Amino acid sequence: MCIYSSLSQSEIWLESPEDQNMDETQNTTAEARNEEDIFSILVATDIHMGYAEKDPIRSKDTFVTFEEILQVAQERNVDFLLLGGDLFHDSQPSTYCLYKCTELLKRYCLGDRPITMEYLSDPSLNFSFANTDSVNYEDPNLNVGIPVFSIHGNHDDPTGEQQISALNLISSAGLVNYFGKHTNFNSVEVEPILLKKGQTHLALYGLSHIKDERLGRMFLDKNVSFLTPQGDDWFNLMVIHQNRASRGVKSFIPDKSLPEMIDLVIWGHEHNCLIEPVQAGNNVFISQPGSSVATSLSQGESIPKHIGLLQIYKKEFNMTPIPLKTVRPFIYREILLRDFETLRQEYGENEVDSVANQALAIKEVEKVIEEMIQEAKDLGRKGNMLPLLRLHVGYKDEGQVFNAIRFGQKYQDKVANPKDVIKFRNHMRTSNTRTGDKEDKEFMAETVNLPNRVEDLVLQYFETNDVQLKCLNLRAFNESVMKCIDSNQPDAPIEVCNYLTKDAIKKLEEEAIEEENVEAFIIENNTKQHDVSLVDKILENKLGKKPVARRQEMEIDSGSDDDVSPVKGNDTTASTARGTRPARGPGSRGGRGSRGGRGSRARGKANPLF
């Protein structure tokens, strides 16, 4: 049960779990708080820049909304912008997408605005993979007005042998502080970024996207640790990008797996907006901002989109939802078509043939579509944009079904997605599934444990049968299929197949294997040498290829080379590192509000923080 501080009605601050049992007399009142002690952070996740970039109607949607987010950051005078992954929709964004992103960041995030927070940790720990020796706002060659901190998601994750992502590009330009990248999939040690503003100390933990099965295995094996700074006055903020909702027995990270020492988690990857912080079973508060653009026509995407203004004072925090005004309206509804006789009476139809049955169904759907269009107009979004509509039409009579694509053509000038406005669903089949007998329900319960992706099904088939692939390594080939679907690399399966075949032939020739030993040699070669990391090396030379259309609604990122169950319980260890860590002093930029001293890189000595 959370305890609220004694505040005015206009704002409510939540205390972090560690301080919930403190005496009420120790609560700090609103009047005692000083603005110089309060972190102001704008939080956003899943911006998906470049989504639907080739759509003539929706091509600019993601860029317009990202600009709105940056404008809000300027207007609210935030200390920094925190992004929870999937800044880009593709791991290989187009040239225009990269240009637009850098142009917007340069326009809104560079300037002479004073930075009032101090960076206390060691950049060699926080940004070891980025080849940088400081946060961007302490770089004497840059003039940063609004720092941006970001992890990567499953859409813009690193690829290739060098493990480079689009975030590396904008990070090397000094526009973003890219953190939370982990390349060791046997164990993860999360180093916090330590920031200080007045009396408030913030430890920012970042965990960029890792395949849920792999991360689950590391949690189970207690191979995930969180380094903690010395002292108990740190507010521990974590940003993560993983499946939160259960989409299969192995494809999500339960809330209870989070370490109890974390005060607040910003959860990316899930697109439905649940931005109001809620307390999980282990007393950790979780905020799920959701996406800023609808990348699928699902019900969860129709929830109004928000970003959040997070304010932190010592061990207290407040999250204020901010609605986005430039998001294209999306209206979602479900209806069940009434029977023919009822529709005849309502619309005064005298005919009783199949043509009349279908015509009445069309009239019924048209009526609902017009209501949805008007509902979208009433939202009053900026730009008077054409709305996205999705109407699920349930039917009991097959004679009521009509051509959905042809039906949508009449709305080409009224909606943004005329080709897929409606989707039919057999209500009788759905009802039987939901209300079937005991055997049906038992069967449905068993199907929960079935693989939720084709790659998992293929892997399961070969693991449970005597038949095995001989020349191709199954796990590497499966990973290449996932790269094709999730990372927009359509040639991945062909390239991997060709490489594995040529590699096997080359080694057979070099070893001069006798004919009767060829099969055994190939099997041994696959077992010893080929793993999932090989796929990235093979595809390294393919990073420059232009992406093609991908499955837009694929949100589950599974297909790990590990076969594990979901995380059970809290297996994470929060540890203090052994020995003395290098520490970062406040820097040489002068006091809060000062831009002076930027030419010097010297730092004073400080006590060890870890």
CA-based nearest residue to 178, from 254, 242, 103, 123: 123
SS3 393: strand
Do 3 and 12 form a contact (C-beta atoms < 8 A)? Answer: no
Ordered DSSP codes for 450-507: S-SSHHHHHHHHHHHSS---SSS-HHHHHHHHHHHHHS--TTHHHHHHHHHHHHHHHH
Do 495 and 538 form a contact (C-beta atoms < 8 A)? Answer: yes
Report d(CA 183, CA 188) in Å as an integer: 8
Residue 292 CA: distances (Å) to CA of 11, 44, 273, 325, 401: 25, 8, 9, 10, 34
SS3 583: coil
Do 146 and 160 form a contact (C-beta atoms < 8 A)? Answer: no
Query: DSSP letter at 28?
Result: P
First to last CA, the chain: 31
Amino acid sitting at position 64? V
Do 125 and 583 form a contact (C-beta atoms < 8 A)? Answer: no
What angle, rounded to 10 degrees, do the helices at 454-464 and 474-486 form? 170
What is the separation of C-alpha 392 from the centre of its chain, rounded to a whole number of angstroms?
26
Catalytic residue (choose from 155, 241, 269, 271) = 155
Torsion sign (Cα): 15, 19, 24, 28: negative
Strand partners, 150: 83, 178
Instruction: Tell the residue number behind the tokens 């040690």, with chain if given.
Output: 189
CA-based nearest residue to 343, from 328, 330, 359: 359
Q: Is 152 a catalytic residue?
A: no
Do 15 and 37 form a contact (C-beta atoms < 8 A)? Answer: no
Amino acid sitting at position 52? A
CA angle centred on 587, ends 129 and 180, rounded to 5°: 25
> How is residue 39 written in tokens?
């972190």
Report d(CA 489, CA 512) in Å as an integer: 35
Report d(CA 481, CA 536) in Å as an integer: 12
Residues that are catalytic = 155
